[in-house]
Amino acid sequence: MRVFVTGTAGFIGFHLARHLLELGHRVDGFDGLTPYYDVTLKEARHAELRQFERFRAHIAMLEDMEALTRAVETAEPEVIVHLAAQAGVRYSLENPRAYIDANLVGGFNILEVARAQGVRHLLMASTSSVYGGNEHMPFLESERADFPLTLYAATKKANEAMAHSYAHLWRIPTTIFRFFTVYGPWGRPDMALFKFVDAIEKEKPIDIYNHGKMQRDFTYVGDLVDAIQRLVDLPPEIGADDSVSPVAPFRIVNIGRGEPVGLLDFVEAIERKLGRRAIRNYLEMQKGDVPSTFADCSLLERLTGYRPHTSVEEGVAAFVDWYRGYYGSARG
């Protein structure tokens, strides 16, 4: 199968591309290598992928419609998986325009090339952040998600609405997946696990928001890409189940473990793996943050027969082993 994956130098896109390549598929990757975080880490991920003969990289920005069109026409994909985005809840408070450019303009460009190419399935990443101010848990795909608390969440909800309109107008089978706190090896330096491990290894304090009174539905990246790969072969049809639109071949699927873990329990798992205690700096809740996330994963399980299963202990251990191998046990 020919698959076009955006964001292959990014955390999740790298893992998905590698998983697809290991299964024997051909993958064309598209990434802008933006300096939002260490570009050498992104280049190292691409270097790993280039070891596969069936991988080809296209370096350009999503906003560059000419470059994106050229890359898709070269790849001739049957499936597009759109993972590239300006990520991060907190960074959206500092640089909101980056989210408009990458997520809204870039998302629109992906819809246009998918329409022109006539792909048999378009899959696009969204986020649990779209549930925003919702208080009923676990979060269910069919519930309203109309109260985003950050611009990041708002752009991802806008992507969902834009994708639905294209699915309806052009009959593009489209699956949206909402990710829940993905973590694991090759993770982003702006993510909590990376920050915590990095600081504890250097004997520096870690910031713990809302005094630790938070829960997250932590999802191991290996489980996530396994779920995505299974969904690739399941293009939606009109009206087939609860999260599918009555007027378009469109589906929204949560991908989470379905078992929230307390933030302090997460920190303790890191401490056990590292063999040292963290210096804890307790802070108030950050603007735009939520105290808890919790995915209802029954639709994913019903569609694929699969449910993410990796424990936090296992996932944290895998990340620490990667971190120490990549940076060395005494990072400068």
Catalytic residue numbers read: 152
What is the Cα–Cα distance from 201 to 111, expressed in whole angstroms? 43
Residues sharing a CB contact under 8 Å with residue 212, sequence separation 6 or more, in sequence order: 262, 263, 264, 267, 280, 282
How many whole angstroms separate alpha carbon 288 and alpha carbon 148? 9
Q: Long-range pairs for 129-133 at CB < 8 Å and ≥24 separation?
A: 129/89, 129/153, 129/156, 129/290, 130/156, 130/157, 130/160, 130/178, 131/178, 131/293, 132/290, 133/290
CA–CA distance, 266 with 196 (Å, rounded to integer): 10
Relative orientation angle of helices 151-170 and 106-117, to the nearest 10 degrees: 20
Spell out the residues 6+ positions from residue 324 whose beta carbon is closer than 8 angstroms to its own: none
CA distances to 26, 231, 232 from 38, rounded to whole Å, are 27, 31, 30
Residue 276's SS3 state is coil
Q: How far apart are CA 41 and CA 33, in angstroms?
A: 10
**Which single residue is written with the structure tokens 């991060």?**
88
Torsions phi, psi for 298 (to 5 deg): -65, -35
Cα atoms in the Cβ-side hemisphere of radius 13 Å centred on 37: 17
